[in-house]
Structure 1
Amino acid sequence: MIIDVHAHAGPWFFATEVGAVELNLALMDRYGIDRQIVSASEAVTYDMVSGNRWMAQRLAEQPRLLGYLVVNPNELAEAENELARHLPGGRFAGIKVHTTYPGHSLMSKPVRDALGLAARAKLPVLIHTWDDSVLGLVDVLEQHEELRVIAGHMGGPAWRTAVEAACRSDRLYLEPCCSITDRDRFRYALDRVPVEQMLFGTDSTLVDPAIALGVVAAAKMTESEYEHVMWRNAAKLFGIDEVAA
């Protein structure tokens, strides 16, 4: 079983084949991915409300997909309305917060407030991390007992710092999808971070899942590590029924 905790659906401005959720499903079938947690590209890059609405419609049609409700740090009042509007449907399993597109740094007040909103909703949050500021998530987690955070891209080029952060908080999770494929970075994390905090993500459909699968294959995981990373930890974090998955 494989659960992909970091994926996107809908058009993007990258020079890749993206668009309909049928592509997500085709890639899942190609690589043996059973369940995928996705955010709407439109909600991340342009319009939170219309993007989340589009995602809700797609989720109703595709039982193999679960959603991240996108929260824009610039529109927190409307984001609260989004939570009230979409969470009762049960198809959004987490919250997605980006930093680049809203124009805020990871430790800015708007982003920290967005993480506080996620804590009150008691949902896991996937957040974009790409530099040493990932270490600041430890302080945010200490302020919110209900908060659980996935450091998207494992800090990007700051992956060693992300590992340090995850070692300091048992509610900070790491996933490997990244355009930075430094040798042995995932094995480095596995040797230091409790295996229960390690997840699998691909960044599909912006990035072909083969890259993330190659990263985890290169880590030469034990059977127990593989089981935890590829599905068991995600099933527990997101409340995914193992049988249904």
Structure 2
Amino acid sequence: MIIDVHAHWGPWFFTMDVAALNHAAMDRYGIGRSIVSATEAVIYDPATGNRALDGWLATTDRHYGYVTINPRRLEQAEKDLREYLPTGRFKGVKIHTDYTRSPADSPQTREALALVAAHGVPALVHTWGPTVLDLAATCQDTPGLKVIAGHMGADGHRHAIEAARGCDRLYLEPCYSHAPARRIAEVAAAVNPDRLLFGTDSTLIDPASAFGAVAAARLDPETAEKVAWRNAAALFDLPV
């Protein structure tokens, strides 16, 4: 059993066929559940994307959703959180700091994450390089907040180690468009295994990339199980 905590639903802004093969790819790698954000919500408009995703989630039992919010549109964010979280189909919040031009330590993102904490769900936040340290600082300053550092800093995975050691409410997921040798093994050896998750960035990236990178890390069986599904099930309160 694998739970993918970083996935997407809906077409991208360039031609690709991966979306049509999503369930086949999940089956190939044993991904039983995924938590998805609407591509439209991330890139274009959260309100219409969240609405479309809500309709689709009602037709599937393999996926849960993230309510995507824009820190610069907090009134709309609050409305969507109140509308979609009670359905049970949405298990967290997605914030893409680059597309919204809202860095993790900016006043608007701090306010948005305080709103997320008030609703009692985790947030998946895009991180790259040293920005994972900014996210950890914001999390540390926000009581009750639990955040997932998307891509665990990508090429800044050593910053992610520092960030996770400094904030016990920060989780790491590994998806990345490159696969540097020993990146995941190095993080797993240095961070509390209870705060490691599995994510693929599907449908933007084929799950083979993250699956192979994690397999190559040769995690011990207990850690591998925590990464694969146990930590995600606990963090998002998912039935298993």
> What range is the shorter-chain TM-score in?
over 0.9
Q: CA deviation at 1:51?
A: 0.1
Cα distance in 2 for residues equivalent to 1:214 and 1:23? 18
TM-score by length of 2: 0.97
Q: Secondary structure at the match of 1:191?
A: helix
Cα distance in 1 for residues equivalent to 2:157 and 2:211? 18
Give the corresponding residue for 1:179.
177
**What pairs with 1:207-222 in structure 2 (closer than 5 Å)?**
207-222=205-220
Task: Pick one of 175, 178, 186 that aligns with 1:188.
Answer: 186
The percentage of aligned residue pairs carrying the same residue is: 50
Task: Pick one of 69, 89, 92 that aligns with 2:90.
Answer: 92
Task: Pick one of 230, 233, 236 that aligns with 2:231.
Answer: 233
TM-score by length of 1: 0.95
Q: Which moved more, 1:105-114 or 1:194-203?
A: 105-114
Change (3 A) 1:193 1:58: same
Q: CA deviation at 1:112?
A: 1.6
Q: Supply the RMSD in Å over aligned alpha carbons.
A: 1.2
Give the corresponding residue for 1:63.
61
Conservation of the 8 A alpha-carbon contact between 1:12 and 1:18: no
**What pairs with 1:112-151 in structure 2 (closer than 5 Å)?**
112-151=110-149
Q: CA deviation at 1:16?
A: 2.8
Q: Secondary structure at the match of 1:84?
A: helix
Change (3 A) 1:18 1:42: farther
Number of paired residues?
240
Conservation of the 8 A alpha-carbon contact between 1:9 and 1:18: no
Q: CA deviation at 1:136?
A: 1.8
**What pairs with 1:37-56 in structure 2 (closer than 5 Å)?**
37-56=35-54
Letter in 1 for 2:16: T
Task: Pick one of 101, 106, 109 that aligns with 1:108.
Answer: 106
Q: CA deviation at 1:15?
A: 4.3
Q: CA deviation at 1:180?
A: 2.6
Change (3 A) 1:186 1:6: same
Letter in 1 for 2:196: M
Cα distance in 2 for residues equivalent to 1:72 and 1:95? 10
Say yes or no: does 1:10 pair with 2:10. yes
Cα distance in 1 for residues equivalent to 2:16 and 2:212? 19
* Deviating 4+ runs (over 3 angstroms): none
Q: CA deviation at 1:17?
A: 2.0
Q: Which moved more, 1:120-129 or 1:108-117?
A: 108-117
Q: Secondary structure at the match of 2:94?
A: strand
Conservation of the 8 A alpha-carbon contact between 1:9 and 1:39: yes
Cα distance in 1 for residues equivalent to 2:98 and 2:15? 19
Cα distance in 1 for residues equivalent to 2:74 and 2:21? 31
Q: CA deviation at 1:100?
A: 1.3
Q: CA deviation at 1:189?
A: 0.5
